[in-house]
């Protein structure tokens, strides 16, 4: 690709927890790079997905959902979200069509007024299949009355409706310059972190309401074998002994099922045999350990 003709820039996806940011990121990139569950606050790191749109390379920053922080981890996540937005060339605010203008959306709009500066902010109304057309139009008008958005898109990140138009609009507005990543790279997260996120997603889906919020997964070792397979050892950290029992399950059935599901997805993602080994360890104060935040891509000081 001729560098003189190329464009490359960053797009921050912001919104309330569970607004569909991770689903939209995966749809834009064309592969799964971000954890997707029905639980809120599942995205903890600023995951960069890389998508191509004609001569443009669009680097999407999937930020943690914006919510009212209550503890150090919460505060670090919210700080990461706004840092991702401040570093972007374009900001996309994602809201849910059926929820409308919530207090959380109002708070985001207030902060955008302070922090967005001259960067264009795009409104993407997601989950449009859940409401009627007249309600969508009313919501669009109400949101645009609150802020002068550069553009408004009606989308369904899950089904793909309207996503191509949004991607094309973003691609046209990326600044001129060389691509930052190889053409076949879809994310700038280390494989170790992607693997840990996949396992954490399976834990979230398996445990549902029982899931301890104070839980994280780290890839402790990654060993490539001569036959092309890989051995991955991961640790699930929980804060209490009781949480360890929940994650393990009766006779270890829960952690076995999680390991099996994560192994299958990793095998498909990496396109090779994967040997995944999981351990569960209790670390009562892991939420106060700077190295745990570094592993998640967060700044420990932001949670102070």
Which of 73-77, 106-110, 173-177 is the least confident region?
A: 73-77
Which of 30-39, 88-97, 283-292 is the least confident region?
A: 30-39
Torsional sign, CA 156, 97, 65, 166: positive
Query: What CATH number is given for 3-172 in this structure?
Result: 3.40.50.300
Gap between the Cα atoms of 160 and 23, Å rounded: 10
Determine the pLDDT at residue 53.
Answer: 93
As a dihedral over the C-alpha atoms of residue 102, residue 103, residue 108, residue 112, rounded to 10 degrees, the angle is 100
* Residue range 122-133, pLDDT digits in tens: 999 999 999 999
Nearest to 147 by CA among 101, 80, 96: 101
102 pLDDT higher than 90: yes
* Residue range 162-210, pLDDT digits in tens: 999 999 999 999 999 999 888 877 766 667 777 888 898 888 888 876 6
Q: What's this model's pTM, rounded to 2 decimal places?
A: 0.62
Domain boundary assignment for the chain: 3-172, 191-303
Find the mean pLDDT for residues 229-241.
90
On the 0-12 / 13-18 / 19+ scale of CB atoms within 10 A, 300 is middle
Average pLDDT, the chain: 81
Domain 191-303, architecture per CATH: 2-Layer Sandwich (3.30)
């Amino acid at each position: 690709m001729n560098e003189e003709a190329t464009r490359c820039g960053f797009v921050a996806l912001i919104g309330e927890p569970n607004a569909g940011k991770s689903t939209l990121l995966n749809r834009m990139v064309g592969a799964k790079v971000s954890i997707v569950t029905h639980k809120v606050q599942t995205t903890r790191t600023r995951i960069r997905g890389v998508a191509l749109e004609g001569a443009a390379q669009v680097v999407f920053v999937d930020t943690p959902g914006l919510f009212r922080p209550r503890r150090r981890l919460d505060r670090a996540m919210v700080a990461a979200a706004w840092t991702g937005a401040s570093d972007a060339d374009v900001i996309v605010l994602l809201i849910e069509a059926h929820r409308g203008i919530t207090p959380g959306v109002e708070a985001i709009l207030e902060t955008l007024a302070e922090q967005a500066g001259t960067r264009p902010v795009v409104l993407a109304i997601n989950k449009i299949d859940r409401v009627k057309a007249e309600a969508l139009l009313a919501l669009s008008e109400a949101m645009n009355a609150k802020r002068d958005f550069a553009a408004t898109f009606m989308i369904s990140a899950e089904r793909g409706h309207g996503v191509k138009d949004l991607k094309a609009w973003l691609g046209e507005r990326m600044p001129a310059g060389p691509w930052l990543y190889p053409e076949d790279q879809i994310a700038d997260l280390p494989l170790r972190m992607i693997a840990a996120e996949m396992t954490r997603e399976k834990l979230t889906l398996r445990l549902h309401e029982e899931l301890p919020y104070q839980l994280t997964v780290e890839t402790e070792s990654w060993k490539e074998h001569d036959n092309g397979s890989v051995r991955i050892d991961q640790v699930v950290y929980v804060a209490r002994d009781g949480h360890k029992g929940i994650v393990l399950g009766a006779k270890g059935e829960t952690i076995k099922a999680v390991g099996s599901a994560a192994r299958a997805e990793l095998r498909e993602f990496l396109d090779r045999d994967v040997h995944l080994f999981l351990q569960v360890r209790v670390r009562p104060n892991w939420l106060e350990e700077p190295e745990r935040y570094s592993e998640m891509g967060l700044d420990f000081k932001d949670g102070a």
